[in-house]
Chains A and B, each alone.
Chain A
Amino acid sequence: MIDALQQPLVAAYLRELDAELASLPSSMAAELAEQIRAHLLEALPPDADEGAVTAVLAALGPAGLVAAAAANPVSGASLAAPRRDPILRRLVAWTRRLTIAGRLTIAGIAVAIGLPSGALIYWQAQTDLQFMTTSAWWSPVDGVHDVTTEAAGVSQDTIPIRPGEIQGFVITIYNPSDVTQVILSSADQVSPGAPGAPQIAVSTTGTIQQSGEPHWVSYRPGGGPIPPHSYRWVRVLWRSYHCYLNAVGSSQGANDLLLRVRVGWITRTEDIQLPTEFAVGATAATVRSDHCGANPVPRP
């Protein structure tokens, strides 16, 4: 006497069933296979003859049909999982029940919310400002004392700190976005030569071929706009602090420029990577010249 499931016709049916169920989620397939096996064990005595097996399998239906019934829930679907209309269809049906005034109100609210939201997303998606090709120390005095060093692929341009004097650099910044971006101020809390934020100025034009730049262009102190797909000179100045660097060989610099920038209605901080680190360094002369070598003012 053999188990009914080992009967050749039954075994072949179950193999076919397992193959048909392979495309279903594993838990669903396993449960259904278990139910069909239990059905066969109940329906067939262990010593069932071929005729009885054939009749039971015929009543059960083709394995593919059983699997299809599980994969395509038509039978009893409305009871098993009360299906709801898609959200969009329900929304359309709901709006059809509204009065004209109600529809206009909803439309007004949608516009009032949608337009600003769309605008905010549009502005937020605009590309940040970026450095473009040209940089220089602002003061010719500093320019002639610039020392460029390279270490581990990082470039640093260092000038001697001149305590009490205006120092800084100018760079060209490009606006790659489709909207005007307005530089408002520095977002840095310190400057390379002072414990305060640098003063930012933006050129009013984007000329770059004329001689004498960057000094011959006019600047708008406190920031200014850069039209889309245009560049401007951006001047970064600070008054170097007397007691900022008190040891010979020490330096302080910046390899990026944090700016507060207005894009449309939003204001955000943009981090402009600089091509080199603009740094000021202490020399024996600068350390001797000030009075805080032994008692420096702590940096912020």
Chain B
Amino acid sequence: MSRMDRSGETTTELRRGVLGPCVLALLAERPRFGLELVRDLSRADGLLTSEGTVYPLLNRLRDGGLVTSRWIDDDQTRPRRYYSITDQGRRHLAAFRAEWSAFTSAVDAVLGAGTGTGRTRQHSRTAGEAT
């Protein structure tokens, strides 16, 4: 039970850590309004558990100068607030992508190596017992 909880917490922390860059990545493609952005994020399985938490994140990204927003009346029933990435946001995203790539490669390597070592030891112990 406790092991399952820790796993869940780890996933939650990971999700929180990458959600901001994911928002930037989507906005780097094109500006999006709130619900559109939320739904695009929701398509990534497990990335978004509560759509409402995207808005505080957007506001912090805006306060950090990584995102801007403006109201656009695009012939819909009501004006929409569109969010766009700034130049600073693009630089930040590029930096994160580089770090993320190195990080995931390192983690993959360690996780993969750990699995392999365990098998080898198991195999050799089994061989010893058989002898």
Give the interface of A toward B (CB within 8 A): 28, 31-32, 35-36, 38-39, 41-43, 59-63, 65-66, 69-70, 73-82
Given the complex of chains A and B, what is the CA–CA distance between A28 and B81 in angstroms? Answer: 16
Give the chain A neighbours of B38 by CB distance below 8 A. Answer: 39
- With A81-B63, A82-B64 already in contact, the answer to whether A76 and B57 are too (CB < 8 A) is yes
- With A39-B38, A42-B35, A75-B20 already in contact, the answer to whether A80 and B52 are too (CB < 8 A) is no
Instruction: For chain B, residues 31 to 90, give those with C-beta under 8 angstroms from any C-beta of chain A.
Output: 33-35, 38, 42, 49-53, 55-61, 63-64, 66, 78, 80-81
Q: Is B17 an interface residue (CB 8 A)?
A: yes
> Of B20, B42, B96, which is in contact with the most chain A CB atoms at under 10 Å from its CB?
B20
- With A35-B81, A38-B81 already in contact, the answer to whether A61 and B19 are too (CB < 8 A) is no
Across the interface, do B59 and A76 meet the contact criterion of CB distance under 8 Å? no
Across the interface, do A66 and B64 meet the contact criterion of CB distance under 8 Å? no
Across the interface, do B61 and A79 meet the contact criterion of CB distance under 8 Å? yes
Across the interface, do B50 and A39 meet the contact criterion of CB distance under 8 Å? no
Given the complex of chains A and B, what is the CA–CA distance between A70 and B50 in angstroms? Answer: 13
Given the complex of chains A and B, what is the CA–CA distance between A77 and B51 in angstroms? Answer: 17
Across the interface, do B20 and A81 meet the contact criterion of CB distance under 8 Å? no
Give the chain A neighbours of B56 by CB distance below 8 A. Answer: 32, 66, 69-70, 73, 75
- With A59-B42, A66-B56 already in contact, the answer to whether A79 and B35 are too (CB < 8 A) is no
Across the interface, do B92 and A79 meet the contact criterion of CB distance under 8 Å? yes
What is the interface residue range for chain B against chain A? 20 to 34
The one of B20, B52, B78 that contacts A79, using a Cβ cutoff of 8 Å: B20
Give the chain A neighbours of B55 by CB distance below 8 A. Answer: 32, 35-36, 39, 66, 70
Q: Mark B99-131, 1 if CB is under 8 A from A, else 0.
A: 000000000000000000000000000000000
Across the interface, do B35 and A69 meet the contact criterion of CB distance under 8 Å? no
Across the interface, do A31 and B24 meet the contact criterion of CB distance under 8 Å? no
Across the interface, do A79 and B53 meet the contact criterion of CB distance under 8 Å? no
Given the complex of chains A and B, what is the CA–CA distance between A28 and B57 in angstroms? Answer: 12
Given the complex of chains A and B, what is the CA–CA distance between A41 and B35 in angstroms? Answer: 10
The 9 A-B pairs with the shortest beta carbon distances in the complex, nearest first, are A76-B20, A61-B50, A80-B60, A66-B52, A70-B56, A80-B64, A69-B53, A79-B20, A42-B35
Across the interface, do A59 and B51 meet the contact criterion of CB distance under 8 Å? yes
Across the interface, do B51 and A39 meet the contact criterion of CB distance under 8 Å? yes
Give the chain B neighbours of A36 by CB distance below 8 A. Answer: 52, 55
* 13 A–B contacts from the bound complex (CB under 8 Å): A38-B78, A39-B34, A39-B51, A39-B52, A42-B33, A42-B34, A60-B52, A63-B52, A66-B56, A70-B56, A74-B16, A75-B19, A80-B57
Across the interface, do B52 and A61 meet the contact criterion of CB distance under 8 Å? yes
Min CB–CB distance A48 → chain B (angstroms): 14
Across the interface, do A66 and B34 meet the contact criterion of CB distance under 8 Å? no
- New contact pairs (15) apart from A75-B20, A79-B24, CB-CB < 8 Å: A28-B59, A32-B59, A60-B51, A61-B53, A62-B50, A66-B50, A70-B55, A75-B57, A76-B16, A76-B17, A76-B20, A76-B60, A77-B20, A79-B66, A80-B66
